[in-house]
Structure 1
Amino acid sequence: MTADYLHKKRVIMLVIDSLMDMPLQEAFKGGKVPALQFFSNNGHYLPNLVSPFPTMSVNVDSTLLTGVYSDKHKLPGLVWYNKDENRIVNYGTHVRELIKLGLKQSMIDVFYNLNHQHLSKQQKTIHEVLKEKGIQSASINALLYRGAFETQLKIPFLLSFVTGLNRKLKSYSPNVFSYGAMHKLNPFKKNSFCWQKYGFNDKFSANELKYLINENKLPPFTLVYFPDLDHKVHKNGRLELKGIEKVDQQLQGILNQFPSWEDSLSNTTWIILGDNGQAWIEPNKKEALIDLRQLLNSYKIAKLKKGVSSEVEIVLCVNERMSFIYTLNPQKAPLEEIAKILQKDPRIDVIALKKGETVAVTSGMHKGKLEFHPNGDLIDEYKQCWSIEGNTEILDITIKEKSIEYGDYPDALARIYSSFYSHEGNYIIISAKPGYEFIGEGSPTHVNGAAHGGLHKQDSLVSLIVCGSDSVPKNLRILDLKEWILTLISP
């Protein structure tokens, strides 16, 4: 390694699922999150980091690791239709949906295909880039982790028995790798039984990081995922504070491994961020849930258990507050006709359809349509060039001279456009207004709580804290983090 590298600090990135500014500010006021307050007071607090679209963890983490949107990393969302295999791919919405789709296939998608088949091999992850530079990295409990070292996941007996998965599954990871009960670093800590989600919980993540600190095994880059806050926000709503306090307790335990909290900053840059936000959901079930099966009941919709048979006309892939709707029979189920039906529902704020190189967006909230495509003479804040015609109110876009300003839908044009190139198929993309979420067959619901997936800023904006470095990303998008992180680690 070069002398320049040896003078650089280690980087520890803590991804806290659904960490958002508004509840975090309330937690700061209450004085019950001393660890997060310590990081914020001793670094940079940036409240509006933009998440990729759809705002679902698998898509977000793919962008975080590869530094590109889904048009290039090719992971469309949590649920999508694989045209080549003529089946719905689901990485884990609800167990009832996974059972209907086939539990073994779903588990293969989650534990193997997600990282090694569906995530594009054309895009190198941050772990793969660092390996090429001769720099070690670690991944703890992250869903997306692909690296260059061959390893084995050890599937727990009960999970193997129920799903039919082999007890051992080949995988490729960073050289320092933890993935719940399936690949542990600390040989002394249990906390990985089925009733503890096989180690996919905050306590396990914290214990694995503490083990690396105490054993002096921290590599130059470590990514640690904390999943628990997400579940509490889903249940209790956007202003959930107890969940933030609980994850802060884990962070306090991590900081306590150092001689002092201040000492933790001496040779380490800490990056703490959320992956996606969450939008509030109405307490009235009938109002809150947009049942796409009812809205589109004039078409033959694919049934999960039966699969995508020859008579199917449309396929629904629901990602909470966002959905892909595919036509398999453009004559009997044209996308334009489907879009017109959806426009009648005022709870649907974005209805997007691609024609050639142009995307047309309509809405259940606004009249008219907005059409856009890249390479025009209008420039947004990220130096992206666009051509725009029509009702800009649909995406809350303001145009001043030749500049585009985003409102309720940050980086809306690039995030929608990239999603149309994330996978093959003939489909519409829809997003719900805050207060509402889509359901299909067996979809999880979050009435009187919160959900994500959508394009709106409530789903899209998360908190970012950078502590131990004066450097910050050039743009506040998860898309831009990989390039920035590499400057912190490698010469």
Structure 2
Amino acid sequence: MNMDNEMKLKGKENKPVIMVIVDTLMDGPLKEAMQTGMAPALKFLTEKGKYFPNLVAPFPTMSVNVDTTLLTGTYCHEHHIPGLVWYNKKENRLVNYGTHYRELWKLGFIQAIEDMLYNMNETHISRNVTTIHEDLDSMGKSSASINALVYRGSSPHSLELPNLLAFLTELPQNRVVKASRIFTYGRFSKIDPSRRYQHFWQKLGVNDSSSVQQLAQLIHHNNLPSFSIVYFPELDQRIHKNGRMDLAGIQKADQQMQKLFNLYGDWNKALAQNIWITLGDNGQAWVHPERKKAVIDLREILSSYKIMKLRKGIAEGDQIILAVNDRMAYIYSLDLNSTPLEELAPVLQQDKRIDVISWKKEKCIIVRSGEKDGELTFHPKGMYQDQYGQSWDLRGNIDILDLTLKHRNVDYGVYPDALARLYSCLYSHEGDFLIVSAKPGYELVGEGSPVHLGGGGHGGLHEQDTLVPLIVAGTPTYPDRLRMVDLKKWLLSLIN
């Protein structure tokens, strides 16, 4: 091959794609941080690329559901990860991937570790869907997963528990999992052998500095795969504590981005050599600082029913199971004859802080509200079409979901893509249940649930929980639809 032809072929080679997920990055505070000089790296990407302020996350807006949707290109009725907490009917137990130590201790700490590290990726994600790592591997292309909660791929890797954790839990110290070809997950599996940023008090390496450390190894050795997903988890915890406008948290995340760009010397070289995609995974709604106003205690509202105790599991006489995902909850009926969902709904409607109550009835979805009268009934394939090409049959009070009908088009208000997101949630797993979602300012609690008074919370259907920014730089190609569920197809087109 002559030099000219070799140069032409080289010019057509696709650049590596680096996707950085900054947990709970939101449009309003990000714009303010960029304007005040606190986020120069993200501002650089925005100026050199394109900024989209309103990417729609799936429902419930919890990271495990969001990340699985991103990697599979499906909503949870297909990938089967319903949230951070859910009732597994086949195993007759509550699954919790990590909410708060109080809940995990009562449910069984060892089981929670096993669910989080192994079962979620190995058994709970449906085998009827494929992840982007699996798709790329089948195409003969490599990918990397760096500190991402959802990592399922085709390549075997060993997850190694630290000695103390293995001793305390009596779990196998080494276990093989299937992940992306290049795989790092805190101290459990890593590229860089250094233990810096990997200690117990640093969340065993699941932190921003560790993510940068691992990606830097690939950049430094010119070993970037076709696609890398890199997770920055720390901003989420700061916003839970400090509220939506925690600019210092964005500044810290930006400083980590600067470290990556500085590896290239000139930041423009980082763009010339790679495609950079930066996004949040979910937003957070504000939470009232006063406990009596902020907290919606489902145990009090449903006190006339016998609710399963976390430590005991399902016992004789139990009627209800609560699976609380911060500002959203699944409420399961263990016996529809004695505890029908239609009976639970009006009890929940008495609390005006609950804005969405929904359940399945035959082939329809029923939606009610604690603050609005009436009922909305809908199902797919009707006369009304939304902006995503989905059609719906709608009957009843459309104000409950803040819908607007114009001719045969349906437009969404404060609940983006509400119909598809509710539908997917209610068909995400087996069981008889309804879902509730709180208005901004409020959080749902059950037994041992965390609260974030004066801070932020997520999980809900509202746009504050749902909308996140997306920054694309290094390519003139952008996604057709601004939903998390639609990104996978676009990403594969960039890579392939």
Compute the TM-score of the two structures, normalised by the length of structure 2: 0.97
What are the equivalent positions in structure 2 for 1:181-220 lying under 5 Å apart? 181-220=187-226
Structure 1 partner of 2:388: 382
1:350 to 352, 356, 361: 356
CA distance in 1, matches of 2:358, 2:122: 30
Q: Do structure 1's residue 142 and structure 2's residue 148 form an aligned pair? A: yes
| Other-structure match for 2:169 | 163
Partner of 1:293: 299
Query: In 2, distance between residues paired with 1:58 and 1:27?
Result: 27
**For the residues of structure 2 that align with 1:188 and 1:163, how far apart are their CA atoms?**
25
Partner of 2:464: 458
Q: 2:72 aligns with which of 56, 66, 75?
A: 66
Counterparts of 1:103-142 in structure 2, within 5 Å, are 103-142=109-148
Match for residue 102 of structure 2 among 91, 96, 106? 96
Measured after TM superposition, the shift of residue 21 of structure 1 is: 0.2
Residue in structure 2 matched with residue 239 of structure 1 by the alignment:
245
The alpha carbon displacement at 1:179 in A equals: 0.4
2: distance between equivalents of 1:295 and 1:175?
48
Per-residue deviation, 1:211: 1.1
How big is the shift at 1:161?
2.1
* Equivalent residue letter for 2:350: K
- Other-structure match for 2:432: 426
Q: Which residue of the partner structure matches residue 413 of structure 1? A: 419
Q: 1:52 and 2:82 equivalent?
A: no
User: Is the aligned partner of 1:12 residue 2:11?
Assistant: no
Partners in 1 of 2:38 and 2:237 — Cα distance? 20
Aligned partner letter, 2:489: E
User: Cα 1:183–1:47, aligned 2, differ >3 Å: closer, same or farther?
Assistant: same
Give the CA deviation at 1:28.
1.2
Q: Which amino acid aligns with 2:238?
A: K
The structural deviation recorded for 1:190 is 2.2
Please say if residues 107 and 165 of structure 1, whose CA atoms lie closer than 8 Å, have aligned partners that are also in contact. Answer: no
Secondary structure in 2 matching 1:223: strand
**Distance in 2 between residues matched to 1:51 and 1:5, nearest whole Å:** 35
Aligned mates of 1:321, 1:4 — CA distance in 2? 50
Superimposed CA distance per residue, residues 381-412 of structure 1 (whole angstroms, 9 cap, x where no aligned partner): 00100000111110000000000100000000
Does structure 1 retain, via aligned residues, the 8 Å contact 2:157–2:183?
Answer: no
AA in 2 matched with 1:197: K
Measured in 2, the distance between the counterparts of 1:5 and 1:386 equals 46
Contact 2:80 2:126 in 1 (8 A): yes
Q: Which amino acid aligns with 1:216?
A: N
**Aligned mate of 1:323, from 325, 329, 339:** 329
CA contact (8 A) 1:53 1:454 kept: yes
Q: CA separation of 1:163/1:458 partners in 2, compared to 1, >3 Å: closer, same or farther?
A: same
Q: What is the alpha-carbon distance in structure 1 between the residues aligned to residue 398 and residue 376 of structure 2?
A: 6
Aligned to 1:364: 370
The residue type equivalent to 2:122 in the other structure is: H
C-alpha separation in 2, matches of 1:84 and 1:312: 18
Aligned to 2:236: 230
Q: Tell me if the contact between 1:5 and 1:489 (Cα under 8 Å) persists in the aligned partners.
A: no
Amino acid at match of 1:93: T
Contact 1:409 1:456 survives alignment (8 Å):
yes
Give yes or no for contact 2:22–2:233 (8 Å, CA) kept in 1.
yes
Aligned residue among 85, 88, 99 for 2:91? 85
1:33 correspondence with 2:46: no
> SS where residue 128 of structure 1 aligns?
helix
Contact residue 144 and residue 228 of structure 2 kept, 8 A: yes
Equivalent residue, structure 2, for 1:251: 257
Aligned 8 A contact 1:272 1:464 in 2: yes
Cα distance in 1 between the residues matched to 2:11 and 2:141: 9
Opposite residue 110 of structure 2, the aligned amino acid is: K
Structure 1 residues 50 and 310: alpha-carbon distance in aligned structure 2, compared to 1, 3 A threshold: same
Whichever residue aligns with residue 95 of structure 2, its letter is: V
SS of corresponding position for 2:54: strand
**Residues 7-37 of structure 1: per-residue CA shift (max 9 Å, x gap):** 1111000000000000001101211111001
Deviation at 1:311, TM superposition (A): 1.8
Residue identity over aligned pairs, in percent, reads 53
Q: Secondary structure at the match of 2:372?
A: coil
2:308·2:321 contact (CA, 8 Å) conserved in 1?
yes
State the distance in 2 between where 1:472 and 1:164 align.
48
Instruction: Report the equivalent of 1:274.
Output: 280
Deviation at 1:310, TM superposition (A): 3.0
| Inter-partner Cα distance in structure 2 for 1:268 and 1:58 | 27
Aligned letter for 1:140?
I
| SS in structure 2 at match of 1:148 | strand
- Kindly provide the CA deviation profile for residues 53-98 of structure 1, in whole angstroms up to 9, marking residues without a partner as x: 0000000000000000000001100000001111000000001111
Separation of aligned partners in 1, 2:295 and 2:265: 51
Please give the secondary structure, in 1, of the residue aligned with 2:152: coil
Q: Is contact 2:158–2:175 with CA below 8 Å preserved after alignment? A: yes
Contact 1:316 1:440 in 2 (8 A): yes
The answer for the alignment partner of 2:3 in structure 1 is none
Structure 2 unmatched ranges of 5 or more: 1-7
Over residues 219-249 of structure 1, what are the superposed CA-to-partner deviations in whole Å (9 max), with x where a residue is unaligned? Answer: 1100000000000000000111000000100
Preserved CA contact (<8 Å) 1:90 1:109: yes
Q: Distance in 1 between matches of 2:340 and 2:194?
A: 58
Q: Could you tell me how far 1:308 is from its partner in structure 2?
A: 1.2
Deviation at 1:313, TM superposition (A): 0.4
The residue that corresponds to 2:4 in the other structure is none
User: Which of 163-172 and 379-388 deviates more?
Assistant: 163-172
Looking at structure 1, the residues matched to 352 and 161 of structure 2 have their Cα atoms a distance apart, in angstroms, of 46
User: Which residue of structure 1 lines up, in the alignment, with residue 444 of structure 2?
Assistant: 438
Q: TM-score, normalised by structure 1?
A: 0.98
SS at match of 2:133: helix
- 1:277-323 C-alpha deviation (Å, 9 max, x unpaired): 00000011011000000000100100000001232100000000000
- Residue 6 of structure 1: how far off its partner (Å): 5.7
Q: What CA distance in whole angstroms lies between the structure 1 residues aligned with 2:126 and 2:9?
A: 34
**2:284, 2:456 within 8 Å by CA — same for their partners in 1?**
yes
Shift of the 399–189 alpha-carbon distance from structure 1 to 2, 3 Å rule, reads same
